[in-house]
Structure 1
Amino acid sequence: MTLANQLTLFRIVLIPLLVIVFYLPFAWSYPVAAMIFTIAAITDWLDGYVARRYNQSTPFGAFLDPVADKLMVAVALVLLVGAHANAWLAIPALVIVGREIVISALREWMAELGKRASVAVSYVGKVKTTFQMLAIIALLSVSPDSHADWLILGYVMLYIAALLTLWSMVIYLRAAWPELMAETTVSPSE
């Protein structure tokens, strides 16, 4: 078990802790939930750095890292949508989670065709992830009933992340479009 894989597993272990802390009936639960998510976001960057720097890339890590990322973001967004209970947060959350489902399915399908590199992570995707993580941290850090600047900043960054999410999805779909539109014969069993 490499250090990079341990960091990824640690991020998954933080998910139930995030949920428990978020629902605690104390004023400090919001900033502590934001801190837990921040630690998870840092381990997301750190496990990739460690894997590349120390040549610790493994098939298990390549599988688990994106799963951990998507679980952490999806759980945080579900918590926030439930707490904020408004369309202003639900719409960008839906865009972000929906895109992750579409792109994950696209990557899996392209991998079956041996063309996984066509839908590799792009620069826009990395910028999107940065805005997404910062937005979630800002939104987790304060009560949804507050009028804190962090809340406004969180909403703005989440909308920027949602726009970048759509942009990156278009990039991925364009790269895969020739394969998606290729005419092939389908066997009767399909």
Structure 2
Amino acid sequence: MTWNLPNILTLLRLLAAPGMAVMFLYFTRPYADWFALVLFVTAAVTDWFDGYLARAWKQETRIGAMMDPIADKAMVVIALMIIVGYSAEHWTPWLVLPATVILFREVFVSGLREYLGDVAGTLKVTKLAKWKTTAQMIAIAVLFSQGIFEHYLGMTSWSVVWSGRIGLWLLWIAAALTLITGIDYLRKSLPHLKETR
């Protein structure tokens, strides 16, 4: 592995993903929420920096290209797992359904990329896919902040209610973009999935 700064940032982001869950093992709420939110937001910011620096400094590597989407998916999947798990007391299908769409798409596309092997590298990441990742990150950050607001302000506070609603709306937007980009990726992959005789 090439130990340049972009790859180190990607690796740190990958390690931060399970780190969010560990926060809830060692700290009580709302401290766990604070630490998980800071970890998540910091990792989301490095997601932009590692790609930008790799291109600017001409330090793009195969290991970096492989680890980057894994780190993104790990961050999103683990964060959604935490949010759904800790929302059990006010569980709602309106939270679980978009989370399910996002998780299903990420697992499906990861499996598709693995099956396609080297061909997957030729399928370029679209601008819509980048917007999808941005929407996921913002929605998750807002939903994490709701847990913090709940602790300090109480469940009935208008800021808690509205942060929850805004977080849900953003998560649904992210889920819609996730579904669209997943279908687009499958459509572009179809010519490579045909069995040769």
With normalisation by structure 1, the TM-score equals 0.86
Aligned to 1:110: 116
Matches within 5 A, 1:140-179: 140-143=144-147, 146=155, 148=160, 149-179=162-192
1:150 Cα deviation (Å)?
1.7
Could you tell me which runs of 5 or more consecutive residues in structure 1 were left unpaired when the two chains were aligned. Answer: 186-190
Q: Mean alpha-carbon deviation: is it higher for 84-93 or for 103-112?
A: 103-112
CA spacing shift, 1:61–1:79, aligned 2, 3 Å: same
1:8 Cα deviation (Å)?
0.9
CA spacing shift, 1:153–1:22, aligned 2, 3 Å: farther
Partner SS, residue 147 of structure 2: coil
On the 8 A contact 1:33/1:141 being kept in 2, the answer is: no
Aligned to 1:184: 196
1:35 Cα deviation (Å)?
1.8
Distance in 2, matches of 1:99 and 1:160, equals 14
Indicate yes or no: 2:104 matched with 1:98.
yes
On the 8 A contact 2:17/2:78 being kept in 1, the answer is: yes
Q: Mean alpha-carbon deviation: is it higher for 96-105 or for 25-34?
A: 25-34
- What is the count of residue pairs matched by the alignment? 182
Distance in 1, matches of 2:80 and 2:109, equals 18
1:80 to 79, 83, 95: 83
Partner SS, residue 152 of structure 1: helix
Indicate yes or no: 2:50 matched with 1:47.
yes
Distance in 2, matches of 1:115 and 1:34, equals 32
CA spacing shift, 1:46–1:80, aligned 2, 3 Å: same
CA RMSD of the aligned region, Å?
1.9
Distance in 2, matches of 1:143 and 1:116, equals 38
Aligned to 1:188: none
1:35 to 33, 38, 60: 38
Distance in 2, matches of 1:81 and 1:67, equals 21
Distance in 2, matches of 1:5 and 1:107, equals 21
Partner SS, residue 58 of structure 2: coil
On the 8 A contact 1:32/1:141 being kept in 2, the answer is: no
Aligned to 2:20: 18
Distance in 2, matches of 1:157 and 1:68, equals 21
Partner SS, residue 60 of structure 2: coil
More helix by share: 2
Distance in 2, matches of 1:122 and 1:52, equals 16
With normalisation by structure 2, the TM-score equals 0.84
Distance in 2, matches of 1:15 and 1:132, equals 14
Q: Mean alpha-carbon deviation: is it higher for 169-178 or for 150-159?
A: 169-178
Partner SS, residue 57 of structure 1: coil
Distance in 2, matches of 1:116 and 1:3, equals 22
Q: Percent identity?
A: 41
1:152 is matched by which residue type in structure 2?
R
Partner SS, residue 125 of structure 2: coil
